[in-house]
Amino acid sequence: NGDIVVLGIETSCDDTAAAVVRSDGEILSQVISSQADLLVKYGGVAPKMAEEAHSQVIDQVVQEALDKAYMTEKDLTAVAVSIGPGLSLCLRVGVQKARRIAGGFNLPIIGIHHMEAHALVARLIEKDLQFPFMALLISGGHNLLILARDLGQYIQLGTTIDDAIGEAYDKSAKWLGLDLSRSGGPAIEELAREGNAKSVSFSIPMRQHKDCNFSYAGLKTQVRLAIESKKIDAKIPISSASYEDRLSRADIAASFQRIAVLHLEERCERAIQWALKMEPSIKHLVVSGGVASNQYVRARLDTVVKKNGLQLVCPPPRLCTDNGNHVIFRRGGL
Ligand code: KG4
Ligand code: ZN
């Protein structure tokens, strides 16, 4: 019936994801298989293990995405797949799967830049979103501020010089002995609600650098030192900690989160001012990537963005994290 229907495949990190999306923006299906059990076991993503896990589930994930969309490969117009950045062993599993389908059914393959997809997926939910707009991408591996002038035309305003914010959340959660079955970010966010965000004084990174870059390695170290000085033992899970112990962990979580997010706020504010000089017609800042599902992050950034005359666009969590449908929103009207 003339509709473009694309199968998207994403295997850049620890999630195996596939989705079927139509050119009008309708997500016909979305399937994600995550490696939470491996994360708990190894305390992070181990590339070789992750590759094996992707290989084990990729066929099933893709099949399920097709089934849920009531489609077969014959109904597809193209196959899209993340080609980077990411773990090369893992990316390869997705690319090989895409090649098998494309080869078998004579379909074009569209290679997708993972970070571009994180930025453009916002166009699915915010139909008013027009170029030029700004995007802040915050995940486990990336901290990126961009000015998107048009499809394929991006100016990088800032990036991390060491760790990404999600990495700082994940490590802090591990050192605080939190339950990592859902990844560290949500665990810190939850515990932080019980703590006093001003009780531990951490310094805001990169204050002396008047640019839009980020750094989270130093804050990570500050958290580790605070944990050591309070004699918190990560081997005692938070669920078995005493009341005082739990409270002191919550204080660190809340204080860490306040400073981690203040760093985002300061950089965003400067980036907006820079970007508006180049493109005065900018109306939106898109915040995407796993960390964008954090309610505190959203609320604080919303204030900064409004104060500077823009509107915050935050895709729902299922579209913020790695997923299969975000890989296709690039070309051909999609
Ligand atoms: O975008 P994503 O799913 O994968 C990458 O491309 O990295 O992001 C995963 C990251 C992890 O570091 C995770 O801890 C973080 O996003 N994250 C959060 C929250 N939910 C996920 N960080 C803070 N608060 C959250 N609620
Ligand atoms: Zn991602």
- Domain segments of the chain: what residues? 5-121+320-328, 133-314
- pLDDT on residue 323: 78
The minimum-distance atom of ligand 1 relative to the CA of 167 is: 12
**What is the distance in A from the centroid of ligand 2 to the CA of 294?**
15
Q: Whose CA is nearest to atom 13 of ligand 1?
A: 185
Pocket of ligand 1 (CB under 6 A): 13, 139-141, 166, 169-170, 183-186, 189, 289-291, 293-294, 321-322
- At position 116, the amino acid (one-letter code) is E
Distance 165 CA to ligand 2 centre (A): 13
Mutate to test the pocket of ligand 1, among 30, 179, 321 (most ligand atoms within 8 A of CB): 321
What is the phi/psi pair of residue 235, to 5°? -75, -20
5: Cβ contacts below 8 Å, ≥ 6 apart: 20, 21, 22, 23, 28, 69, 71, 75, 76, 77
Q: Pseudo-torsion of CA 292, 245, 255, 320, nearest 10°? A: 0
pLDDT along the chain (334 residues), means of 10: 87 93 90 79 78 96 97 96 92 97 96 89 87 95 93 94 97 95 92 98 97 98 98 95 97 98 98 97 95 96 98 90 65 38
- In this structure, the residue with its CA closest to atom 7 of ligand 1 is 140
317: preceding bond cis by omega (within 30 degrees)? no
Q: What dotted CATH number matches 133-314?
A: 3.30.420.40
**Of the ligands numbered here, which is closest to the C-alpha atom of 45?**
1
- Paired strand residues for 80: 8, 110
ipTM field: 0.98
- Taking the C-alpha atoms of residue 31 and residue 117, their distance in angstroms, rounded to an integer, is 17
Domains 5-121+320-328 and 133-314 share a fold: yes
Q: Is 95 helix (H, G, I), strand (E, B) or coil?
A: helix
Interatomic CA distance for residues 302 and 92, integer angstroms: 37
Distance 321 CA to ligand 2 centre (A): 6
Domain spanning 5-121+320-328, CATH class: alpha beta
